[in-house]
Chains A and B, each alone.
Chain A
């Protein structure tokens, strides 16, 4: 499983550009291959605080702290991480915080690992159950617009928004070891 040396897809570059233009100053993440470019770019950007999390729910609370202090935070996670967040999402509703997360999907397209299925297939429903508005990007060309729309809804209207990045964007995971 090689992690690098592949060209960065344009849609991943688009995401980082949209986050920068949208005034995001904290990027909290549990890594996923689909977030790799944004994470690398956040680490390299002195104007952005990159925060690696041990579990995604930390990112929910961190994002609220950032907003209390006047900064916009984006939380990057994989679909399995949504399940880790469920009770912490209460914070978003109870105090009416803006929230913006990008979720790379697993368990829905050419999935090799059956353990990804149960949470991946319920990711959208779990988000919606907890009052989070869900947008989805499935084509590379639409990623920038949808991420931008979600970011604006979060920080201009105070909504809680998740943008799901379809597994088809990321493509089939290569399982061969070298």
Chain B
């Protein structure tokens, strides 16, 4: 099951986001949020601190509303598994500007590193394909990052990317927890007015 090589999560996310400065980014709760924040806070980042299972759906709504901007959801295997049906929903809509990146360490990192389904038999790429997302791939080397960047820039179709990362716990880098602040900052960056 476990591939021999695993990627450093912080290095991958930092390299990815540096290459797509105009991408709108949605993060699943927990470590994915910390990774994105550690890569550099941006007004176009929307950090979730809860709503487990909702990252892909939130990204879908955003991608449909902003078809001319790349939308990248960065989440973990546990978060994606909880909202696994949302991959079917994404598979139906397939916005060209949506990329789902699952940082997969095969564990629930926030709660004591219990093994998750993705290291106990679930093949998330097969699941994504089965849900109708043909451009689904996995990677176990950081150079794969360039393929993801290419897809985000091309905006040629929904992509699902499973990134095999080390089950490490890098130092916490905590983004703001103030939901209204993050929301209003994000909307302002898009030029949207308050009601």
Residues of A within 8 A of B (CB): 25-26, 28, 49, 51-55, 57-71, 73, 87-88, 90-91, 94-98, 155-158
Contact between chains at A69 and B62 (CB < 8 Å): yes
Contact between chains at A91 and B65 (CB < 8 Å): no
Q: Which among B49, B89, B183 is the interface contact of A58 at CB below 8 angstroms?
A: B89
Residue ID in chain B nearest A64 by CB atoms: B58
Greatest chain B CB density within 10 A among A53, A65, A66 is at A65
Within 17-39 of B, Cβ neighbours of A (below 8 Å) are at: 24, 26
Contact between chains at A65 and B88 (CB < 8 Å): no
Contact between chains at A69 and B179 (CB < 8 Å): no
Residue ID in chain B nearest A97 by CB atoms: B183
Contact between chains at B86 and A58 (CB < 8 Å): yes
Taken together as a complex, chains A and B put the C-alpha atoms of A52 and B60 apart, in Å, by 12
6 contacts between A and B (CB under 8 A): A52-B92, A54-B89, A65-B59, A69-B24, A91-B51, A91-B54
Residue ID in chain B nearest A61 by CB atoms: B54
Contacts of A95 in B (CB 8 A): 179-180, 182-183
Tell me the interface secondary structure of chain B in the complex.
Answer: helix
Q: Which among A53, A58, A66, A156 is the interface contact of B65 at CB below 8 angstroms?
A: A66
Contact between chains at B179 and A65 (CB < 8 Å): no
Taken together as a complex, chains A and B put the C-alpha atoms of A155 and B192 apart, in Å, by 14
Residues of B within 8 A of A (CB): 24, 26, 46, 48-55, 57-66, 83, 85-86, 88-89, 92-93, 179-180, 182-183, 186-187, 190, 192, 195
Contact between chains at B62 and A66 (CB < 8 Å): yes
- Given known contacts A51-B93, A52-B89, A61 and B65 CB-to-CB distance under 8 angstroms: no
19 new A-B contacts, CB < 8 A, other than A60-B51, A88-B54, A156-B195, are: A28-B61, A52-B89, A54-B85, A55-B85, A60-B54, A61-B55, A61-B57, A62-B89, A63-B61, A65-B63, A68-B58, A68-B65, A69-B63, A69-B65, A69-B66, A71-B65, A87-B52, A95-B182, A158-B195
Contacts of A54 in B (CB 8 A): 85-86, 88-89
Contact between chains at B92 and A68 (CB < 8 Å): no
- Given known contacts A69-B190, A90-B50, A94-B179, A26 and B65 CB-to-CB distance under 8 angstroms: yes
Taken together as a complex, chains A and B put the C-alpha atoms of A25 and B62 apart, in Å, by 12
Greatest chain A CB density within 10 A among B54, B59, B83, B190 is at B54
Greatest chain A CB density within 10 A among B63, B66, B89, B180 is at B89
Contacts of B86 in A (CB 8 A): 54, 58, 61
Contact between chains at A53 and B89 (CB < 8 Å): yes
Contact between chains at B58 and A70 (CB < 8 Å): no
Taken together as a complex, chains A and B put the C-alpha atoms of A71 and B190 apart, in Å, by 12
Contact between chains at B54 and A57 (CB < 8 Å): yes
Taken together as a complex, chains A and B put the C-alpha atoms of A91 and B50 apart, in Å, by 7
Contacts of A63 in B (CB 8 A): 61
Contacts of B58 in A (CB 8 A): 61-62, 64-65, 68
Taken together as a complex, chains A and B put the C-alpha atoms of A145 and B66 apart, in Å, by 31
